């Protein structure tokens, strides 16, 4: 794998996606399966010191995209119907139609109550962070997607695996 900021490790009923930038570990449990115990996850991928572990069921049924960067991956995977809220700067025809149908993500500096309701109303919030990932770490359903922090376009292209996981 060429991407340097994430790894994916597979187990029979779940996979573990580890993001080194946000220092988070996402345990992705297949639909209909019981969430694995900490011991079961640690047997596959140990939680590193200082990392946060979050659990999600997959496939994800609803999400919010706080950045336009990952929308091309969502388009390529054909899962646009799983995105409930999208950044107002989205330009592709599908996203423009979604924005016209009240799917615009309220900015964090706008209506704080609406923004919080939107974040809480989805299974996953696809976010991004830089050197300070507090925004992702404190969002219970937040998932960092560091596609723009990778070294180049070949590494960034591997984020289709990240979104598909």
**Band (39; pLDDT cuts 50, 70, 90):** very high
Reported pTM: 0.94
Question: In 3-state terms, what secondary structure has residue 7?
Answer: strand
Give the pairing of strands 24-30 and 14-19.
antiparallel
- 6-38 burial, b for 16+ CB within 10 Å, e for fewer? bebeebeebbbbbbebbbbbbbbbeeeeeebee
66 to each of 12, 32, 51, 86, 109, how far by Cα in Å?
31, 28, 22, 6, 13
Question: Which H or E run includes 124?
Answer: strand 124-127
pLDDT digits (tens, 9 = 90+) for 108-149: 999 999 999 999 999 999 999 988 999 999 999 999 999 999
**29, pLDDT greater than 80:** yes
| pLDDT, position 130 | 84
How does pLDDT run across 52-108, given as a tens digit for each residue? 999 999 999 999 999 999 999 999 999 999 999 999 999 999 999 999 999 999 999
């Amino acid at each position: 794998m060429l991407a340097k900021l994430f790894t994916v490790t597979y187990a029979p009923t779940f996979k573990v996606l580890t993001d080194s930038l946000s220092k988070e570990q996402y345990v992705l449990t297949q639909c209909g399966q019981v969430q694995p115990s900490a011991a079961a996850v640690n047997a596959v991928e140990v939680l590193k010191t200082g990392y946060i572990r979050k659990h999600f069921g997959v496939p994800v049924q609803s999400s919010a995209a706080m950045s336009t960067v990952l929308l091309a991956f969502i388009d390529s995977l054909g899962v646009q119907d799983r995105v409930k809220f999208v950044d107002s700067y989205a330009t592709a025809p599908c996203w423009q139609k979604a924005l016209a149908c009240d799917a615009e993500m309220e900015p964090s500096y706008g209506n704080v109550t609406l923004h919080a309701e939107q974040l809480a109303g989805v299974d996953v919030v696809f976010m991004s962070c830089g050197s300070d990932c507090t925004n992702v770490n404190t969002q219970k359903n937040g998932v960092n997607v560091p596609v723009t922090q990778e070294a180049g376009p070949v590494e960034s292209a591997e984020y289709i695996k990240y979104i598909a996981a």
